[in-house]
Amino acid sequence: MGLFDEQIKEVRAFIDEVRASGALRELEAAGAGDWPQRSSLVLEEDTALELGNPKIASLSVLLWTEESDLADGRVLLTGPDVAESTAPSLPFAQVLLAKGRFPNEYDSYRDLRDAVYDTHMEGLSVRTMPSKQTLWCRVSRDALSSGLSLVHLGAEYIDALKQVPGVTAAEALFVTSSAADVAKLSRAASGAQRLVDAMMKMYQEQNFDCETCEYQDVCDTVMDLKKIRKKLADGKAVQG
């Protein structure tokens, strides 16, 4: 059992549904080619395309597993790639999956998250609001005319995740098809957020008064959170 088994199952179900409808593109990160890595601030007047404006639809999720199978280096896309968009703004969901060994969940989470935060691409402004799981991107005119693709973005994320100790495989899913498709992933996203929040609380507060904790429901039902809680509580008892 893994921390995000339920969420990964939901994401897989979404992928299967899109694949069955013939709307899924399965691409290889290895074929993306290099893209300059540099933090960018793309202003409105330089923007060719906006992705994930929260007024339309925006979602960002990071999940990891020790057991589920991942197709390493695969970038999945449903909807138009940036160069194919006829609209100035597209809904956007980004789901990143990493597989590996994560003996310390909290440190692993922070390493994986920071790898994502530290991914920068020239001509692409990426702004993240972790508490809302939103991701707002602007693609510059220059980047678009130079051939920037979501495969480049996926390849950069996959590469960054695989730099994290213990990670053996990584995969990226991007959704630009519709706000309704983005919404289909919101349950998995909010579930993952709640698990991460519960884990963060355990590590940061080291308070195991479960009766008063707002995360009691998830801790009681997700085996891996129970294990983390027990590990931390036992450690605290030894220290005490």
Partner 1 sequence: MILAVCGKGGVGKTTVSAVGARALASRGVRSLVVDADPAGGLAMALDIEPKKTLNDIRKELIAEIKAGQRDERDLAVSVDYLVAEALTEKGGIAFLAIGRPEDVGCYCKVNVILKDAIEGLGSMFDAVLIDAEAGIEQVNRKVMGSVDYVLLVSDTSAKAVRVAETIKGVADKMVAGEGAALLVNRFRDESEVERVRSETSLDVIGSIPEDDTVRTFDAGGTSFFDLPDCPASEAIDKALTQAGLFA
Footprint of partner 1 (CB under 8 A): 39-41, 43-45, 110, 113-114, 117, 125, 127-131, 134, 136, 196-197, 200-201, 204-205
Between 69 and 214, CB nearer to partner 1? 214
Minimum CB separation of residue 27 from partner 1 in Å reads 27
Between 168 and 206, CB nearer to partner 1? 206
Q: Which two tokens stand for residue 28?
A: 């290889």
Between 132 and 230, CB nearer to partner 1? 132
Give the span between the Cα atoms of 40 and 123, in whole angstroms.
6
Minimum CB separation of residue 127 from partner 1 in Å reads 4
Give the span between the Cα atoms of 102 and 158, in whole angstroms.
17
Task: Looking at the chain, list the stretches that DSSP marks H as alpha helix, in order from N- to C-terminal side.
Answer: 5-20, 105-117, 141-145, 150-162, 179-184, 186-205, 216-221, 223-239
Enumerate residues 6+ apart whose C-beta is below 8 A from 173: 11, 15, 75, 76, 77, 93, 94, 95, 96, 97
Between 45 and 67, CB nearer to partner 1? 45
Between 95 and 198, CB nearer to partner 1? 198
Q: Is residue 114 within 8 Å of 62, Cβ to Cβ?
A: no
Q: What are phi and psi of 226, to 5 degrees?
A: -60, -40
Minimum CB separation of residue 137 from partner 1 in Å reads 11
Minimum CB separation of residue 23 from partner 1 in Å reads 30
Between 23 and 210, CB nearer to partner 1? 210
Q: Which two tokens stand for residue 5?
A: 């088994």
Minimum CB separation of residue 43 from partner 1 in Å reads 6
Minimum CB separation of residue 132 from partner 1 in Å reads 9
- Of 29, 40, 203, 44, residue with least CA distance to 120: 40
